[in-house]
Amino acid sequence: MDGTTEPIVVVIGHPIAGNPAQFATERALRSLRLDWRVLSFDVLPCDVAAALEGFAVTGINGVLIDRSLAAEAQQWYSQRTGSDPSTIDCLFRDGELRFVGEFEQKHWVDEQISRHDGQTRIWIGDRNSHAAASGEGFQEHATTPPEIIELVSQADVIVINHAATEPLELDAEEWPANEGATLVIDLTEGHEELATIRELGYRVIGEDERRVGTLQRCLNRWTGQMPSTEVIYDAIEEYLGV
């Protein structure tokens, strides 16, 4: 940017309608007293490379990439940089003003895991999409394992895979109560039984938490400041009419 206009960040997705990211980003920037502009674009998957290339050369400060375009963004970034990240959801400028891509959702989730006192974790959904560290032992199940009562009391990593063609059955009412020692990480679009799992005392990272954590990290990358999670949560709830 040449200093004649305010900094600009962009949100892309397909579809983009109904995505609260722009509204929440604007609210967070105001809370930081930053006069930045936020633009949203509905980009077809076939046009992602052209769009990102344009943003890279026009001085846009950063891009938030919805997961609907993650594969295409990762392909563009790999071809442009020669690196091979699992995926990217955020682009920001480095010290030489070059675009750098990161998987901020993964970084945020990993931070939450590292801060969790308990050792047991239950992953719901496609754990491979999180690019989890290789070599970590875990037990994998297609649905809720019948031995869940025994497993949640041990230092195990449990993966309940999401079946693409059928709803994921959790049978949460059969789960034992928990005092927060077990961390449940939901990688789906928000499983209907998460409320029951929370009521049982599990610590849950769901779609809303991942969305807020990702946006917070992106804003920190773009601005060098850390917005309040409460500001972002409130903005998303207001946008969605929760």
pLDDT tens figures, 92-125: 999 888 999 999 999 999 899 888 887 678 888 7
- Identify whether 231 is part of a domain: yes
**C-beta of residue 235 within 8 angstroms of C-beta of residue 24:** yes
Q: What is the mean pLDDT of the chain?
A: 84
Over residues 53-95, the pLDDT tens digits come to 999 999 899 999 998 999 999 999 999 988 877 789 999 999 8
217 and 234 together in one domain: yes
What pLDDT is recorded for position 29?
97
Looking at beta carbons, which pairs linking 115-119 to residues 24 or more positions away fall under 8 Å? 116/183, 116/203, 117/181, 118/180, 118/181, 118/182, 118/183, 118/203, 119/155, 119/181
- Identify whether 113 is part of a domain: yes
169 and 136 together in one domain: yes
What pLDDT is recorded for position 155?
42
* Edge-to-edge strands, sheet with 90-93: 37-42, 8-13, 62-65, 90-93, 99-102
186 and 219 together in one domain: no
174 and 221 together in one domain: no
117 and 90 together in one domain: no
Over residues 196-235, the pLDDT tens digits come to 999 999 999 999 999 999 999 999 999 999 999 999 999 9
Q: What percent of the chain shows pLDDT beyond 70?
A: 81
Q: What is the CATH number of the domain that holds 221?
A: 3.40.50.10860
Domain ranges, residue 154: 107-206
172 and 231 together in one domain: no
Query: Domains in the chain: how many in total?
Result: 2
215 and 155 together in one domain: no
130 and 174 together in one domain: yes
What pLDDT is recorded for position 226?
96
